[in-house]
Every structure is written in C-alpha cells, then in structure tokens.
Chains A and B, each alone.
Chain A
Amino acid sequence: MTQAPEKFVGGGLWRKEDPALVTGRANWTDNITLPGMLHAVFMRSPYAHAKITSVDVSAAKEQPGVVAVFSGADLDDEYEKHPRENPAAVTGYDLSLHDRAQGHTVTGETEEAESSEETKRSFVAWIVHEELKVPHHDPMAHDEVNFAGEPVAVVLATDRYKAQDAIEFIEVEYEPMDVVTDIEEAVAEGSPLAHADFGTNEAYTWDLTDGDIDDAFSKADVTVKGRYLQQRLIPNAIETRGVVANPDPISGGFTVYTSTQIPHITKAVLSSYCGVPEQRLRIVAPDVGGGFGSKLNVYSEEVITLVLARKLGVPIKWIEDRSENYVATIHGRGQVQNIEVAADSEGKILGMKVKLLADMGAYLHLNTAGIPLLGAFMYPGVYTFPAYSFECTGVYTNKTPTDAYRGAGRPEAAFAVERIMDALAAEIGIDPAEVRRRNFYEPFDEPTDTPAGIQYDSGNYQLTLDRVLELADYEGLREEQRRRRESGDPVQLGIGFSTYTEICGLAPSKVLSALGAGGAGWETAKVQMLASGNVEVITGTTPHGQGHVTSWSQIAADVLGVSPDDVEVLHGDTAIAPYGRDTYGSRSLPVGGVAVHIAAQKVVEKAKKIAAHMLEAAEDDIEFEGGTFSVAGSPDQNITMTNVAGAAYTAQDLPEGMQPVLSEEYFFDPPNFTFPFGAHICVTEVDTETGFVKIRDYFGVDDCGPVINPTIVDGQLHGGIAQGVAQALYEEAVYDEEGNLTTGSMVDYLIPGAPELPNYTLERTVTPSTSNEMGVKGVGEAGTIGAPPAVINSIVDALSPYGITHIDMPASPWKVWQAIQDAQGQEAGTRDADRSGRPSQAPDSTDTEGGSTS
C-alpha cells in the first residue's frame, strides 16, 4: 500500500464509483439472472375503486411458458397469520402486532373486533398519532381495489414476454365504486369514502402549538395569508424498481436482491410481514439507479416475489416497467397549505398559523403519514418569532399512496414560508431581502430554540443572504428590472428569493420514537484494517448515486493516514453489514459518515497502544501523522500503520490482554438533527406574451457545514435544484375524476431535459453543526427544498406590476399566460391574445360559444 501524508477530506476526488458505471459494468437488479428463474408480471386494477367480484386465472395458466398464476386470495395463506413481531419494522408505540391484527386502533378499544380471526396487514412504520386509522393493505387486492394500479393477480412464466401475454387471459370482474380523488372534497360532508369501514377519509389530525398564537394575531399591525397547492409529483428514478428472490435450500432462507434505499429496513419488514425468520433473510441492494425517496419503502411486489420464491422453491424476478412505476411506486407531495402570518408594521413576525391537508393516497406506506410532520417543525424556517401553530389532517383518496420524495415535507414547508415572506414584504412595502433579514436569528453556534419547539444546531443566515446578493449582483438585477419595466419590454425580469433551512440527519432515536416512528435513528460503521494494511469500511448506509464509497474512503483515509485507494467501502448487503438504518433524509453523512469517522479513530487509538508497545515507549509519547507512529522527540523511532496492522493480525507480540486485529465498530446515535441552510436567488425572464418562463440564472449560497467532497456536494445541489425547478415549472401528477392517472408516462409527465434547466452558480459558507464531532450537516435535499419558492417568487416578482400575487406550481406557460390575462381583465386578455398569436393550448381556444368568431 501507499503511504499518503496528504489529506483528502475537502478535496474533489473523482469518484471511485464511476469506472463500473461509465463502462456499463454495474450490477443492477435487472442484470441478475439465476438458473431456473421465473419472471413475474402483475395484473393491475384499471379502476381506482371497485369491488372485485371474481378473478378467474384458469385460462392464463394454460398459456405457453406460464408456470403459475395467482390471484390475491390465492396467496392469502402465504403471509403469516400472526406476523413476527419486529420492533425494527413497526411503530415504537406500545402496541403488539396482534392487537393491530385484530383491527384495533391504538386508543385501547377493549371490545373484540368482529373479524378477530382476520389478520390486519399494513406496511406502515410511522404511527404519527394514537388514533391513526391504518387501512388493511394486502400485497394483492382481495375484495376491493383502492387505486388504479393496485395489483390483483400475478403470472409466473419462463420469460417476461410470455408472462405479459398471459395477463390478457386473466378474467377479473369488478363492480366500480364511487371514487374520491380531491383532498378538499374528501373531507367535505357526503364525500365518497376510500375506506368505508373508517366512516371518514381523515386518517389523522396532528397539531402543535407553541406560544400564545391568539395574542400574536391580536397585536398584529398586518396579517398576510396564503393558500398554496403542493401538486403531486412522481419521483421517476431512471432505474425502476425490481426484485429477485432466491431460495437458499441449505438454510431454508432467502436472498432478496432489490432496488432499494433501505435493505436493512426491508429485511425487518419482509421478515415480519412474510414470517421469514430474520436470521434467514439476506437483503442485497445491488447498484441502485436513483431513489429520491421512492425506494425508501417496502412494497407489495417485494413481499409477493419473496413468498412466491418460497411457495415454488425457485428464484423469482420482477422488474417494474415504467408505466407500472407511475402508478405502483409512491408519489410525493400532494398537500393543500393554508398559512397566515401576523407581523408588526416593520415586518417583524409575531406569529404564524399553518393548516394542512395532506394526501395519503389509498394506503399508508412506511412513512406516508409522517411526511407532512417533517415539515411541521420547519414552517418557521430561518425566522424567529414568539408564537406558532400547526395542524395537519391526513386524507385518504383513491390514488397511489404518497410517501417520501426528495425533501419529504420540507420543500412544502419552505415553499409556504418563503412565499408568505414575499407576501409580507409586499404588504408592508419593503424589499423581500430586507423582510427576511429583519426576522433572521442572530448567528448562533450552539443549539437554539425555535418556534416549533425544537433546537437548531447552528446557523448564520445573514451570511448566506449577504453573499448571494453579491454573487447575483442584486442591485444590478433590480436596475435591469426597472429598465425593462419602464420600456414595456414584453419579456420581464423576475428576481426570486428563498432563504431556507431544513431538518436533516435523521435522527436521534428517542425523538423518532417520541414521534411514533419507532426509534432506531442511529447509524453504524465498522472500520477494519486487514493484515496487508488495506482497509475495509462497512457502512449501514446504502448509497444509490450519492458517492458514499468515495466520501467514506476520504474520511477513513484521513483518519488512518492511508490513501483512499487503499480503502474499500462495503454496503448494501445485510450479510456484510448486518446493522444499518440506510439512506434517506440527508442522514448518511451526519449520522453514518460520522460513525465511520469515530470507528476509524478507535482503530487509531488501538493501533497507538500497539505502536507504543512495539516501540517500547509510553503511549502518551506516541505521535501519529501521515500513517506513521513515532516517538515524540525521536522521529527515527517509528512504525507505519501498515506494520502495526500486520502486527495486530499476527498477534505475536501484543500488549498484555489486548485482542488481535484492528477492527472497530461504532454505533452513532446523534444528540440532535442537523439543519443545513442557504440563500438562493432565481432570475427568470418571463415572456408576458406567451407565458413562457426561462430561468436565466440560478444562484445559491448553501451551508451544509464542512464538506467532504466539494464536487459531490455541488452535484447534489445541482440535482436537487433541478428537481425543485421541475416542481416549480414542469411536473404534476394529474388524475381525472375516475381516479385515472392521466400523466402516466414519460410523454405526459414533463421531466425536464437538458434544454429546460439552467446552469447553477453556487458558493458555500461553513457553519459547523453542533450535532456531531465533524460538524457536518448533509446536503442531499437542500436544492429541492430551496428551489421551488425561489422560482415562483421570481415569476411573481416579474409579474407584480400586473398585480399578480401568486401562480400555482407547476407554473406552465398556460398558467402564467392565463394569470396575465386574468390580471388585465378578460377583454384586454382576448385582445392581447389575438395580437400575440397565443399558444394553441390557450384556455379559451375551446370556448367557442359566445367567443370570437374568427
């Protein structure tokens, strides 16, 4: 091995992950082929809500290549009647699975449920409220389907084409039922019910109040309120989901390869749900082609693939196709937000009220109910004020379930607060930068209380705002904007701010437990020096594009005094990394990376003892630098880390009582979350004649604490901002009244391509976190959280002379154009439209009655 005195943390090392990826040699789930493997294809409900009256699979079974066909009812016995209890898989509430199996809610109802023999199944892992209504969720529907795309039958055949062919021969009879899709209609009197047995579509209501909110509003000089829509989004990882389940005849267990962010959680959930003893289940996340939260779940198809491998005794493979991905993989967002702020005449906030409706979709997935609550703590954002109230009602609809999508609850919060700050600035007539400044916390470097009752770790919001104003040449932009306004330029300039913070680094186990999410927020790492002096880092985090192999190598290399090339990072296989809590919520570095750092330090501590013994010196006299231990004052007396590792391995002459080898494990349970922050400015050019919005420049100054690899961090921000811009301008999952997803393909759902996105001008400030010894905060979601309000604020800023105060996302040319027409009045709008040669999708193009005769 090579000795490496230089330091690697903070350097933009090229990624170690890349060689396999750029040469087409990665190991995706769909690349796994096993002898005797059968291919599964699912038949899915075309109805959003219907009774299933019959399923006839007999003709399908006769098709060429078909080995077996099962309906939902056929597989009923394959799930355990009394699932294995596993606290890693279910809620931290003191509620036995058996109680839930009886259909009890957690309020402690004492009467026996009528269907006491029936097992109640669900995938839910976050019981947000003691009265949360959890629907029974079979992996394949039995009697009733609750969203279009829910699986109802499965075909196993020798190849995918044959399995797909046989689907056509399955006869399913449905009795359509009334459908509810809109969350505001769902909570109105007389709405159809997604789950009739609950008697309501409300899953739960969760609230939080801090300070005297009524007093704040009674003292206010001004109040501003907003109603904002968080459209549903479809995560669209370019690799769809996929599973291969392989029986192991020796142990009687199974290896499940699955495209997931969470192999460890999947192990616990599949064990519990399917009744496979946990020690006989090995979960492998091979190379995973993106997740963005959509692979932070355990899905029906994983359960069914596993139980079919058990039932048939052969490997089973299922690969999701894109049209399935649109309906069978979770969606994100889906909220109606009402926010109201009370302030004094100077724009200083006195209080904030937030009321949400959050779309759960048809069922609860792992964290469906909890996602809005990640926002609950973040609506106050970077602003300090005395009173805050929050209330969220989760609502069932006959649509694909929602769950975590990049940012998960926090982009929603940042959007609402950053939009309302602009409204407040407009109301009192000051610059939007200034209203933010007036409400910022003073810079702080120790935990500080917030209006939402939590503590931020550290912050210096003024610094990022000041820097982004310089970077963007704010004064120059305002000058250009003034010129364009005065000259009546049809293309107006918009300047939009977002000064955000987010909650990352999930999380302290006790806090997660108190929130009903079952605890276990720790992360673990094992650092082991092999006899050769090379290093293995075993991490419980599970990267799917984030570059952990490179970053963790940098961390370990610096502590151990080796080169990153001498380090291998092992992950994503529960047989190699038995413990771990996986990758989501920007947690990998501030929890898992810190565990690597501490474990590596423990290796050095032990090595130092061995070095002292070998050099016949006192341990206190041993210095460690650049991979070499030496005696203070006698640098010639030294021994390399490599040699110590060899000595620790051969164990011929270790200090009395010391165990052989250098291998240290550490479980890090952080004392607090981390709170990255930043200030973004989006500069748009808005064509007032066509409604087309072009992002001319995007400036971001972000602070995620010290940076391990700046190239990777910039990449995370690029991609995050891109997804935020995508929400602001392009993407929306649209349903019709019957509950059909009308944007069910990449043709209908506008994922931005290279021409639609800007370049990103980024800088950083460094404010170390107080939540871990490295001071790191996490960065995976920052861009997605910061960007949507910056974009919309920019468009509204451009159009403010028209009196336009809001445009819903996605701000399509049609919506922008329509807002301008509405602002100018219908008559003026028609005239402008005729003159400008409006786009063909203009709304009045279908309004021929009484309209223009042209």
Chain B
Amino acid sequence: MRRIQMTVDGNAHVAEVEPRLLLLHHLRENLGIGGVHAGCNTTSCGACTVHIDGESVKSCTVLAVQADGHEITTVRGITENGVWHPMQQAFHEAHGLQCGYCTPGMIMASISLLKENPDATEQEIREGLEGNLCRCTGYENIVKAVQLVQQHRDEMVQDAAS
C-alpha cells in the first residue's frame, strides 16, 4: 500500500492505495466521485477524462499513485458557486448530450481543447475530441457546443472592448 495525497475539486485527500489502483477507480470508489465515468478502462472512450494540473487526461490511463501530489479537477469541480462552467451551459443549450454518459469526459476534454487552441476550427474541434466517443449524438451538437463557447467568449471580448 502507498500513501498518496492529492487535491480533487479543491479538496485535499489522503489515502492508502494499492500501487495498481487506477486513478479512475480511486476517484470513484475511494472518493465517491460518481461524475467520473468508467466506459472502457483501456483509454479508448474518454468517458473518464479529468484534468490533472489543468490538462485533460483519461483517468483510467493513470495510476492513483502517479497522481500523488497533483491537483485533479473533475466535472463536479468546474461549477463555481452553483454557476455552471460555460462549457456545461453550452452542452445543455446545443443539445450536445443525450444519455449523458460520455458527457463529463466530453466536457472536460472540450475545456482543455479550447484552452490549448482557443480559436480551433470545426475540423480542429473534431480532431481534438477524437479520443472521446459518443454513441448518441453523432457529434454535430457536441461540436456546436464547443463553438458556442467560442462565440460567447468572443462576444464578451467585443462587449468589453466597446
């Protein structure tokens, strides 16, 4: 067993874990964060995507011990004072989800995508989300959700400038 410490959604957690334990399972089973979803456990579907120190990572591809000392953000940690993150709002408005199982991972990957490439084109958005599978939406509305965030951001910038 190894003693690890990490900050998850702003809360510090200390735990004794087996070295083989996946971060995904640590978050779900030990910390009770049911908003991180297991879809494949093999880094294929992206349902378990979280941010580690601000970068998107599939939490089934990381051991809990590798996350020792790091800061983890899940979909539950991006809402501030009850106000949704713009990406959450955009998925809702653009009907970018149906069953919702891929959604937390898709939202976390999308936030990361725009952080790395704020003005991503449609093709770049599609390619940027390649590692996240959705079986319900056919992706068009997911792409639109990301574009909606870009659009709102640009409008806010324009408003601020004028």
B134-A745 in contact (CB<8A) = no
Give the contacts of B113-162 with A (CB-CB under 8 A). Answer: 123, 125-127, 129-143
Q: Are B138 and A753 in contact (CB under 8 A)?
A: no
B2 within 8 A of A: no
B-facing residues in A18-49 (Cβ within 8 Å)? 18-28, 30-31, 33
Total B residues in contact with A, Cβ cutoff 8 Å: 59
| Chain B min CB distance to A698 (Å) | 10
Q: Which residues of A have CB within 8 Å of B143?
A: 754
Tell me the nearest residue of chain B to A323, going by C-beta. Answer: B42
Check: A196 CB closer than 8 A to any chain B CB: no
A719 at the interface (CB under 8 A from B): yes
Partner of B35, one of A23, A239, A323, A545: A23
Residues of chain B with a CB closer than 8 A to A292's CB: 135
A754 and B93 CA atoms in complex are apart in Å by 19
A753 contacts B131, CB within 8 Å? yes
Chain A residues closer than 8 Å to B74, beta-carbon distance:
24
A724's nearest neighbour on chain B, judged by CB, is B138
Complex Cα gap A758–B17 (Å): 44
Residues of B within 8 A of A15 (CB): 92, 95
The reply to whether A719 and B41 contact each other, CB–CB distance below 8 Å, is no
In the bound complex, CA of A577 to CA of B103 (Å): 28
Q: Which of A161, A239, A760 contacts B99 (CB 8 A)?
A: A239
- Give B74-118 as 1s and 0s: 1 = Cβ < 8 Å from A's Cβ atoms: 111001000010001101110101111111100100000000000
- The interface residues of chain B lying within 8 Å CB-to-CB of A131 are none
Pick from B35, B126, B132, B139: contact of A722, CB under 8 Å = B139
The answer to the question of B47 belonging to the interface, with a C-beta cut-off of 8 Å to chain A, is yes
In the assembled complex, B34 has its CB within 8 A of some CB on chain A: yes
Contact A161 to B21, CB < 8 A, known contacts A23-B75, A23-B76: yes
A718 CB within 8 Å of chain B? yes
User: In the complex, are the beta carbons of B84 and A719 less than 8 A apart?
Assistant: no
Residues of A within 8 A of B139 (CB): 718, 722, 753-754, 757
Contact A238 B98 (CB under 8 A): no
Pairwise interchain contact B37-A239, C-beta atoms closer than 8 A: yes
Q: A161 CA to B21 CA in the complex, in Å?
A: 9
Interface centre among A15, A19, A26 (most CB of B within 10 A): A26
Q: Does B38 contact A (CB under 8 A)?
A: yes
In the complex, are the beta carbons of A755 and B130 less than 8 A apart? yes
Question: Which of A18, A33, A322 sits near B92, CB closer than 8 Å?
Answer: A18
| Structural contact, A715 and B141, CB atoms closer than 8 A | yes
- Complex: how many Å from CA A199 to CA B41? 42
Inter-chain contact A547/B130, CB cutoff 8 Å: no
Q: Are A24 and B36 in contact (CB under 8 A)?
A: yes
Expressed in whole angstroms, the minimum distance between the Cβ of A431 and any Cβ of chain B is: 29
Asked if B42 and A14 sit within 8 Å, CB to CB, the answer is: no
A321 touches B138 (CB 8 A): no
Are A21 and B129 closer than 8 Å at their CB atoms? no
| Chain B residue at minimal CB-CB distance from A17 | B100
Q: Verify B134–A238 contact, CB threshold 8 A.
A: yes
A515 within 8 Å of B (CB atoms): no
Q: How far is the CB of B16 from chain A (nearest CB, A)?
A: 14
Specify which chain B residues have a CB less than 8 angstroms from the CB of A287 in the assembled complex: 100
A751 and chain B: residue at smallest CB distance: B133
Are B79 and A23 closer than 8 Å at their CB atoms?
A: yes
Chain A residues contacting B127 (CB-CB under 8 Å) are 754-755
In the complex, which residues of chain A have a beta carbon less than 8 angstroms from the beta carbon of B134? 238, 754
Q: Chain B residues near A760 (CB, 8 Å)? A: 138, 140
Q: How far is the CA of A104 from the CA of B42 in the complex (A)?
A: 45
Question: Which residues in window 712-759 of A have CB below 8 A to B?
Answer: 712, 714-715, 718-723, 745-747, 751, 753-755, 757, 759
Contact call B39/A238, Cβ cutoff below 8 A: yes
Which residues of the partner chain A approach B20 to less than 8 Å between Cβ atoms?
A: 161
Residue in B closest to A319 when the chains form the complex, CB atoms: B38
CB distance from B120 to the nearest CB of A (A): 12
Q: Is A571 an interface residue (CB 8 A)?
A: no
**Residues A24 and B104 in contact, CB atoms below 8 Å apart:** yes
Q: How far is the CB of A718 from chain B (nearest CB, A)?
A: 4
CB distance from B75 to the nearest CB of A (A): 4
B61: chain A residues within 8 A (beta carbon): none
B47 surroundings in chain A (CB, below 8 A): 238
Q: Is B44 an interface residue (CB 8 A)?
A: yes
User: Are the CB atoms of B75 and A24 closer together than 8 Å?
Assistant: yes
A718's partner among B39, B42, B75, B141 (CB-CB below 8 A) is: B141
Q: Does A778 make an interface contact (CB < 8 A)?
A: no
**B44 x A545 contact (CB < 8 A):** no
Q: Do residues A759 and B140 form an inter-chain contact, with CB atoms below 8 A?
A: yes
Do A28 and B37 have beta carbons less than 8 Å apart? yes
The answer on a CB contact under 8 Å between B133 and A238 is yes
Select A22's contact among B28, B32, B33, B92, beta carbons within 8 Å.
Answer: B92
* Contacting pair B101 A290 (CB below 8 A): yes
Inter-chain contact A238/B125, CB cutoff 8 Å: no
Docked-complex contact B91 and A719, CB < 8 angstroms: no
> A757: which B residues are within 8 A, CB to CB?
138-140
Minimum distance in angstroms from A505 CB to a CB of chain B: 21
A795 located at the interface, meaning its Cβ lies under 8 Å from any Cβ of chain B in the complex: no
Whole-angstrom distance between the alpha carbons of A4 and B44 in the complex? 46
Q: Smallest CB-CB separation from A714: which chain B residue? A: B95
B45 within 8 A of A: yes
Task: Find out whether the CB atom of B88 lies under 8 angstroms from the CB atom of A238.
Answer: no
**Quick one: CB contact mask for A281-315 with B, threshold 8 Å, 1 for yes?**
00000011110100000000000000000000000
Out of A23, A30, A239, name the residue touching B84 (CB < 8 Å). Answer: A23
Residues in B whose Cβ lies below 8 Å from that of A238: 37, 39, 45, 47, 99, 101-102, 133-135
Contacts known (A290-B101, A292-B135); A745 close to B140, Cβ less than 8 A:
no
Minimal Cβ-Cβ distance residue in A for B76 = A24
Complex CA–CA separation, A719 to B139 (angstroms): 8
The answer to whether A237 and B93 touch (CB under 8 A), given A321-B41, A322-B40, is no
Residues of B within 8 Å of A714, CB to CB, are: 95
Provide the residues of chain A in CB contact with B45, threshold 8 Å. 238, 322, 746
A159 adjacent to B42 (CB under 8 Å): no
Out of A14, A322, A715, A755, name the residue touching B41 (CB < 8 Å).
A322
A-B contact pairs, 17 of them (CB 8 A): A22-B88, A22-B97, A28-B34, A28-B37, A290-B99, A544-B99, A545-B99, A715-B136, A718-B137, A718-B139, A718-B141, A746-B42, A754-B130, A754-B132, A754-B134, A754-B139, A760-B138
Q: Please name 15 further chain A to chain B contacts, defined as beta carbons within 8 Å, in addition to the given A26-B35, A715-B137, A754-B130, sorted by A numbering.
A: A22-B97, A23-B84, A25-B35, A30-B38, A288-B99, A292-B135, A319-B38, A715-B141, A746-B40, A751-B135, A753-B126, A753-B139, A754-B125, A755-B123, A760-B140
Q: Top 4 nearest A-B pairs by Cβ distance?
A: A24-B35, A289-B101, A21-B100, A545-B99
Interface residues of B (CB under 8 A from A): 18, 20-21, 25, 28-29, 32-42, 44-45, 47, 74-76, 79, 84, 88-89, 91-93, 95, 97-104, 107, 123, 125-127, 129-143
